[in-house]
Amino acid sequence: MIVLRQHIKGDVLLAAQDDPQMSLAFLESRATAAAHEYAVLVTSSDYEIRAAAQLYRDRADAENNFDELKNQWGWGGFTTHDLKRCRLMASVVALIYNRWNLCVRLANPHKHHEAITSRPLLLHGVATKTQHGGQTTLTITSQHAKQAAIQAVLTRLATFLASLTSTAEHVTDPERLTRILRHAFAKFLQGRAGPAALLAAGQEGMRTVNCRF
């Protein structure tokens, strides 16, 4: 039997404080102490403890896609026995899930954020639209505790989208999509820019960061 303890910090700790579901089972959180997450493994293998812990994390990571879709996006079942309507709603959820993951990945190409953290971070704000001189401006006011970090993320995203808009008349739709994919999968491309590298990075990204197309 192996008992693992991991210190919780950053976005995961923030989600644990806001979500009662995160306070169940193997999660210890006290105001006077650091928060830790526990896992108990039972195995008959003779792996070294750290190797067994890594194998467990790899197995758990393979289930993150389904966990995120079911528990954070409502893909856990429908209230009708009509197969056609179930397939339609499943497709709608998957489409929204894909678009949101792509949007967040464009804002931060080097890390995948699940909806349990990305939605409170990026949707916790009030937007005001103003028009002047033929231009439309969207002003977002956030009262989140991580306002500075959120502003930096949204600024990077707005800068990238503005670069697409400025060249819209000079590039085709496939070229624009290529630029989006290169930016979203920059972590996996590692400086490679050819079609083969882009395809390989896209396949790796779909497995790793849940961006499906």
Walking along the chain (213 residues) 10 residues at a time, the average pLDDT comes out as 79 49 48 70 88 83 81 79 86 89 84 83 83 85 79 83 78 81 78 55 46 33
Task: Please state whether the predicted TM-score (pTM) of the whole model is above 0.75.
Answer: no
| Local structure of residue 45 (DSSP, 8 states) | S
Residue 197: the pLDDT is 53
Q: Kindly list the domain boundaries of the chain, sorted by start residue.
A: 1-62, 82-213
Sign of CA dihedral 23, 29, 35, 38: negative
Burial of 15 (0-12, 13-18, 19+ CB in 10 A): middle
Inter-CA distances, 46 with 30, 50, 53, 59, Å: 35, 11, 12, 18
Q: What span, in angstroms and rounded, lies between the C-alpha atoms of 192 and 186?
A: 9
What integer pLDDT is reported at residue 193 of this predicted model? Answer: 57
